Amino acid sequence: MTADARAAAVRIRTADADDLDAIMALERASFGPSAWEAETMRHEIASEWGRYLAAVDAEGRLVGYAGLRAVGVEGDVQTIAVADDARGRGIGRALLAELLAEAQRRGVQELFLEVRADNPVARGLYESVGFREIGVRPRYYQPEDVDAVVMKREAR
């Protein structure tokens, strides 16, 4: 089965408060000590300024999520995570594509994100859709002391 066919078996939908526990389990598994707090994620999911997505497999298991915050003509990719056992199937790319489409619908002209300097796979994904490095935030991810690479994408 091709990666596109495997990604097609996953349904992407808007996340809601009922997804919080599954999102937080994946958040903690993906980001460890630098994971967001549940209350922060709850506010993000409910915010009028954003849209959070849930990627759900055929068995109903949340295998990925992503979030966008857009205010005016600026936006931020807040987060993208895919379960370890679901990686390499195009789910992260599909989530990102939907975030980009949502940003366009909301009139975002400049889209930003931070990505761990030690995550070349994510950086490559972002670069493949037009994000470019514009700076570094030293020791941004705590407590691990990992730098964040700041990236920007202009509307197309």
- Record the pTM: 0.92
User: Using CA atoms, how far apart are residues 14 and 64, in angstroms rounded to an integer?
Assistant: 12
> How much is the pLDDT for 156?
76
Q: Is 126 a catalytic residue?
A: yes
Q: Which of 52, 65, 102, 126 is catalytic?
A: 126
User: Using CA atoms, how far apart are residues 86 and 94, in angstroms rounded to an integer?
Assistant: 13
Ordered strands of the 11-14 beta sheet: 11-14, 50-56, 62-71, 74-82, 110-116, 146-154, 132-141
Q: Is the N-terminal amide bond of 120 cis, ω within 30° of 0?
A: no
Q: Which residue in 40, 140, 23 sits closest to 82, CA to CA?
A: 23
Percent of the chain with pLDDT strictly greater than 70: 95
Instruction: Report the DSSP beta bridge partners of residue 112.
Output: 76, 152
Q: Which of 114, 133, 140, 144 is catalytic?
A: 114
Residue 32 predicted with pLDDT over 70: yes
Q: Is 141 a catalytic residue?
A: no
